[in-house]
Chain A
Amino acid sequence: MKLRVLVDLEGRDVYWQMAIDEAMLILRTKGRIENTLRLYRFIPSAVTIGYFQKVREAVNLGFLEESGIPFTRRITGGGSVYHDANGEITYSVVLPIEHPLTDVQESYRIICSGLVYALREIGVEAEFVPVNDVVLHGRKISGSAQTRKSGYLLQHGTLMYATDLDVLEKALLVPAVKLESKGVKSIRERVVTLRQVINDVDIEALIGSLVKGFSRALNATVYYDRLSEEELMLAEQLVNKYRDRAWIFKR
């Protein structure tokens, strides 16, 4: 397949980033854009929670409000995520639900293998762990979440290269039963950043590796592009949903 690649690193706030991802999915279902991979950053740092999570059980609201960290609910399931402006690259991809992506779990494996290939390219031996994690030596470096609509899927996910784990630990709440099942006492023991395993993380090289990794995972030929006016206009229509307290606090 052909894969349109958007290296979109200038950074936007969490509401816009979630609106753009949703706009990409909608426009892909309408045939208005091609299969697309977008790499982006959250500026300022932010938190997203999964579609089915209860805000008060997923994040430390007091800390987020004191620290001025914006947060919103995703249209995808999964858990809460701290997106560090200076320590995380986020990817999103919109694709048709065709072989071999028809089975949901298999589609997570295939798309996440793009991250695994990218990390291996820079000398880090990562592996995919179902349902939706990429781990290094048992510690999570990336989580992904997917939604499906009208024959197409949107999957987005993280790659922590230098996330501030002090902030992450304060921002997110994790049920004790989850930590126990992972054999750890704190969220900090459960995660790892690239900077903890390689001294010098070259962001440009990392971006190049991610494009190469996803290209390989999806057996795709890539071409580079920019967000279209139509994507930005649709995102502008969607962005207020992500700012709306009724959406954020719906659970």
Chain B
Amino acid sequence: MKTYSVTLRFTKTVKLDVVFTESCAIEDVQISGDFFVYPEEALEVLENMLKGCSTTKCVEDAFSSIRNATILGFDLDSLRSRVVEALSTCSSHLPG
């Protein structure tokens, strides 16, 4: 199982935990921390949309689902970049 975890500090703290399939598609993702998202369900929609993603386009489409949400405590674009980074480095850099 390939995994990626990073803790990011903005005004609030965000932890990104990603589990990849052997072919580097996102199998599971959790975005957790002490931030605020309105409506709260938007984050769960994002996590569900990210599952199965193996391309940058898929990640960007998933993040576009949360564009209308109000987020306090972290920067959505920075988080998106981390997910893209995780995906792009999966096959060569992550522990197997």
Kindly report which residue of chain B lies nearest to residue A145, judged by CB atoms. B36
CB distance from A219 to the nearest CB of B (A): 24
Chain A residues, Cβ within 8 Å of B8: 177
With A104-B72, A131-B72, A147-B40: A53-B9 Cβ-Cβ less than 8 Å: no
| Count of chain A to chain B residue pairs whose CB atoms are closer than 8 Å in the complex | 70
How distant is the Cα of A146 from the Cα of B37 in the complex, in angstroms? Answer: 10
Kindly report which residue of chain B lies nearest to residue A80, judged by CB atoms. B34
Q: Say whether A181 faces chain B, with CB atoms less than 8 Å apart.
A: yes
Q: Number of B residues contacting the other chain (C-beta, 8 Å)?
A: 22
Chain B residues, Cβ within 8 Å of A52: 31-35, 37, 40, 43
With A57-B15, A104-B72, A147-B40: A50-B34 Cβ-Cβ less than 8 Å: yes
Within 8 A of A (CB), among B40-96: 40, 43, 70, 72-73
CB distance from B11 to the nearest CB of A (A): 6
Contact with B34, one of A78, A147, A181 (Cβ below 8 angstroms): A78
Within 8 A of B (CB), among A67-83: 75-80
Interchain CB contact under 8 A, B40 and A177: no
Q: Say whether A245 faces chain B, with CB atoms less than 8 Å apart.
A: no
Interchain CB contact under 8 A, A104 and B38: yes
Interchain CB contact under 8 A, A51 and B40: yes
Say whether chain B's binding surface is mostly helix, strand, loop, or mixed.
strand
Q: Say whether A105 faces chain B, with CB atoms less than 8 Å apart.
A: yes
Kindly report which residue of chain A lies nearest to residue B12, judged by CB atoms. A131
Q: Say whether A175 faces chain B, with CB atoms less than 8 Å apart.
A: yes
Say whether chain A's binding surface is mostly helix, strand, loop, or mixed.
loop
Within 8 A of B (CB), among A24-57: 50-54, 57
With A53-B32, A54-B30, A57-B15: A175-B7 Cβ-Cβ less than 8 Å: yes
How distant is the Cα of A58 from the Cα of B37 in the complex, in angstroms? Answer: 18
Interchain CB contact under 8 A, A177 and B72: no
With A104-B70, A148-B38, A251-B30: A177-B12 Cβ-Cβ less than 8 Å: no
Interchain CB contact under 8 A, B36 and A146: yes
Chain A residues, Cβ within 8 Å of B13: 175, 177-178
With A52-B33, A79-B34: A131-B73 Cβ-Cβ less than 8 Å: yes
Q: Say whether A138 faces chain B, with CB atoms less than 8 Å apart.
A: no
How distant is the Cα of A208 from the Cα of B73 in the complex, in angstroms? Answer: 32
Q: Which residues of A contact B (CB under 8 A)?
A: 50-54, 57-58, 75-80, 104-105, 108, 130-132, 145-148, 175, 177-178, 180-181, 251
